[in-house]
Amino acid sequence: MVDTFLPAMRQLVTLNLRSRGLSQSKISSLLGITQASVSLYLSSDPKRAYQSLARMSVLRSEADGYVGELAESVARGAADGVETLNTIWTEILGSGAACAAHRELYPALSDCDVCVREYGRKSIRSKTISEVADAVKMLEESPRFAAVMPEVSVNIACASGDARSPADVVAVPGRIVRVKGRARAMLPPEAGASVHMAKVLLLARSRRPDLRACINIRYDRWMADGMKREGLRVAALGAHRTRGPEDPTVAELARRLGSIPDNFDALVDQGGGGIEPNVYLFAGGAREVATLALRLAYGYSAG
C-alpha cells in the first residue's frame, strides 16, 4: 500500500487534477504533499505508475476509473478522499488482485487468503448497500411513486454476491413509508434488514438466479392493467385463507414455486386473511427494479 499503490495513485491523481485546471499549489493542498512532489509527478512519465498497479492485476482501464473516482473525492475534501482511497484499496485486497505481488515479496504467504476472506464479502456488500441507497433516492425523488405504495409500506431488497441467507440481502430497516405524499426511507439500507423481502427474493432466485433485486408495491386492477401495458410476465400466488405463525407470502411462494414459470418478472400476492394484496417486482439490480416501479407508478397516476 505505502510503497507501491499509494505513490502510483498520487501521481495519476495529480495528473488528473492538473487536467481539470487546478494549480500546483491547490493540488499540493488537496493531496497533502509538497509542491515539489506535485511538480515531480507532473514531469514524470505515468507509465511507471501504471506498471506498478499492473503488478497488482489492476488494468489501465480500471486504474483510470479508480483515479477519476479518487480525484473527484479529493476535490470534495480530505475526508472524502481518504474514504474513497480506503474503499478502492480494500476492493483490490478483497478481489485477491494484490496477492501475487505480496507473495512475490513474502513467499511464506503462498497459502494466505486472509484479505480475500476479510475484505471480499465486505466490498461486495458495500457496493450493494450503495446500489440500494441509489434506488431508494430515486423513489424518494419521485412525486408519483407514493400513489403505488401499499398500506403496509414498501421495501426494496438486493442480493449481495451469491446470497444464501437473509443476512446477505440488503434492504431498508423499518421500510419505506409515505410522508406528506412522498416516499421516505426510515433508515439507510443495510444487510439483513428485512427477513420477509430477503426470503421472497431468495426463493425467486432459486428459479431465476439472474434476479438480484425486488420491490413490493400496491396491487389492484389498475396495477394489473399497467403491468400488462409494460409487457411484464406475471405469476400469481393463491389467496391466503388464514394467518398462521409462518410468513404467509413466503409459505405460499415456497409451496407454489415448482409450478411457477421460470420467466416471471413479477409475482402477485393476492392477499386475503387480513393480508393486503401486493405485487413483487424483480430485476437484475436495485436501480433497475426501482426504475420499473417508477414506470408503473407514472402509468398508474396517468390512468
Q: How many CB atoms lie within 10 A of CB 294?
A: 18
pLDDT tens digits, residue range 183-216?
999 999 998 999 999 999 999 999 999 999 999 9
At 3 the pLDDT is: 87
Domain membership flag for residue 122: no
Q: Is residue 74 located within the same domain as residue 135?
A: no
- 3-class DSSP assignment, residue 32: coil
3-class SS at 210? Answer: coil
The pLDDT of residue 303:
59
Does 50 score more than 90 pLDDT?
A: yes
Tell me the C-alpha distance between 87 and 124, whole Å.
Answer: 11
Q: Does residue 242 have a pLDDT over 60? A: no
> Which domain covers residue 216, as residue numbers?
130-302
* 16 within a domain of the structure (yes/no): yes
Output the CA torsion 20→26→31→33 (10° steps): 130
* Contact in structure between 264 and 282 (CB atoms under 8 Å): yes
Residue 245 has pLDDT above 60, yes or no: yes
Q: Is residue 296 part of a domain?
A: yes
Do 49 and 175 lie in a common domain?
no
Q: Quick check: 42 pLDDT over 80?
A: yes
Above pLDDT 70, what percent of the chain?
A: 96
200 inside domain = yes
- The dihedrals phi and psi of 51, each to the nearest 5 degrees, come to -65, -40
The answer on 153 and 93 residing in a single domain is: no
Contacting residues for 279 by C-beta, under 8 A, at least 6 apart: 216, 217, 218, 219, 223, 227, 234, 266, 267, 268, 269
108 shares its domain with 134: no
pLDDT of residue 110: 82
User: Mean per-residue pLDDT for 112-127?
Assistant: 77
Pick 279 or 162 by higher pLDDT: 279
Instruction: Give the pLDDT score at 18.
Output: 94
**Same domain membership, residue 175 and residue 52:** no
Segment 221-238 mean pLDDT: 93
The number of distinct structural domains making up the chain is 2
Instruction: Please report which confidence band the pLDDT of residue 121 belongs to, taking 50, 70 and 90 as the band edges.
Output: low
pLDDT tens by residue, 55-101: 888 888 889 999 999 999 999 888 889 989 988 888 888 878 888 88
Written as nine digits, the cell of 290 is: 426501482
For 45, 162, 289, the CA distances from 168, given in Å and listed in that order, are 44, 8, 18
Does the pTM exceed 0.85? no
Classify residue 125: in a domain, yes or no.
no
CATH number for the domain harbouring residue 256:
3.40.225.10
| One domain, residues 143 and 82 | no
Q: Work out the average pLDDT over 46-57.
A: 91
Same domain, 35 and 78: yes
- Same domain for 189 and 290? yes
| Same-domain pairing of 32 and 81 | yes
Residue 150 lies in a domain: yes
Residue 242: φ, ψ to 5° = -140, 165
Residues 75 and 139 both lie in one domain: no
Average pLDDT, the chain: 90
- Among candidates 199, 204, 175, 205, which has minimal Cα distance to 188? 175
199 class by beta-carbon count within 10 Å (0-12 exposed, 13-18 middle, 19+ buried): buried
- Model confidence at 115: pLDDT above 90: no
Answer whether residue 243 shows pLDDT above 70: no
Those residues whose C-beta lies under 8 Å from the C-beta of residue 123, and which sit 6 or more positions away, are: 87, 90, 91, 94, 95
Residues 85, 165 share a domain? no
Regarding whether 261 and 149 lie in a shared domain, the answer is yes
Amino acid at residue number 155: N
Which residues are CB-neighbours of 280 under 8 A, at least 6 positions away? Answer: 200, 204, 214, 215, 216, 266, 267, 268, 269
pLDDT tens, position by position, 272-303: 777 889 999 999 999 999 999 999 999 987 65
End residue of a domain, out of 112, 139, 168: 112
Cα 113 from Cα 118, distance rounded (Å): 9
3-class SS of residue 124: helix
